[in-house]
Amino acid sequence: MSPHVKAISREEHLRFVAARPSVSHLQTPAWGDVKPDWRAESLGWFDEGGTLVGAGLVLLRPLPVLRRCLAYLPEGPVVDWDAADLAGLLEPMLAHLRSRGAFSVKMGPPVVARRWSADAVKAAIADPSAHRLGDVEPTVREAGADGIAERLRRMGWRRAEAGAEDGFAAGQPRHVCQVPLAGRSLEDLRSGLNQQWRRNVKKAEKAGVKVVLGDQEDLATFYELYVETAERDRFRPRPLDYFRRMWTALTAEDPDRMRLYLAHHDGEVLAAATMLTVGDHVWYSYGASTARRREVQPSSALQWRMMCDAHEAGAAVYDFRGITDTLDEDDHLLGLLRFKVGAGGQAVEYLGEWDYPLNKVLHKALGLYMSRR
């Protein structure tokens, strides 16, 4: 029999998350409190014996005027993606969301498809014939990922186009950079840094950069640097209230769910970053820095301290989050790819996000609207 899907309490959802080694921070109950423009609901998958065997945080975004909504499960749901009857897991979810007024469903299966080692990425960047990561042979192809993608297509799901996270163009990165921590010593991590990274960490230490933990009051300092970073790197910053909501919601769920790190030098904060933890997975979430005194390498000191703290806490993965898959030297994001992979990280490709139109007319109309924005 297919599992039964129904709404569950935050407490049931959180217990399910806590019993697993790694669940995305976007699939914790508290994440719904961070997104006030969406209505959040925790879903549970129950087997015929009444045991909770899967869970997901779904965000419901109302469509203007019409009483319908977009349903979004970022980096979820958390179910057995290797199950032989994948349709039996997803069809009850679609039926439940249809009853909630959803006209379209977007989800991000937490399934890794391919991995490229730091050396493989470095070689790919140097290869003039390679324009994207997909042009080069991965170090690892995860068994079963292609089969899951094919089954989703047969069920009527379609891979979504990449988009911004704001508004209806909800989306999470398909490519990320992850530093493996499990089974490695701190010396292993340090030796995994490339030459430039090791040099920068030493420069910061010699210059006297001190990295400390901040608290909620320090979010204002972080935000000043974040706005400066947005202007420099040409992206639209989130409002300060967004980060205050993150802090309040996530730390209420778990006091160690969110941390703020600040890099000080000569009495001034030069860089800051937020770090999120769920189970044995740690994410570098948001970073910010000033252009002043960059020669003392505050950002490298900051990241190294965060990796060391993640390692000390027993994390299996330090996740730098999104990277570009382009290898084009003219792309300004290539420098960020070099920086993250230089820390000894792997480039990791997930299956990406997938759409299922419950109402094909409204789904198509939304696609046309978003393409013209």
Q: Model confidence over 1-23: pLDDT tens digits?
A: 678 999 999 999 999 999 999 99
Note if the pTM is more than 0.85.
yes
Report the pLDDT averaged over residues 59-64: 89
Query: Helices marked H in the chain — which ranges?
Result: 10-18, 31-34, 86-99, 118-126, 145-154, 186-192, 195-207, 219-233, 240-253, 298-312, 334-341, 360-371
Structure tokens of 266?
């000569």
Report the pLDDT averaged over residues 304-309: 98
Asked whether the beta carbons of 324 and 337 are under 8 A apart, the reply is yes
Residue with more model confidence, 335 or 210: 210
Q: Give the pLDDT band (50/70/90) at residue 364.
A: confident
162: pLDDT strictly greater than 90: no
**Per-residue pLDDT, 103:** 95
Asked whether the beta carbons of 216 and 222 are under 8 A apart, the reply is no
Q: Give the pLDDT band (50/70/90) at residue 66.
A: confident
52: pLDDT strictly greater than 90: yes
Structure tokens of 94?
């679609």
**Which residues touch 212 (CB under 8 Å, ≥6 apart)?**
261, 262, 264
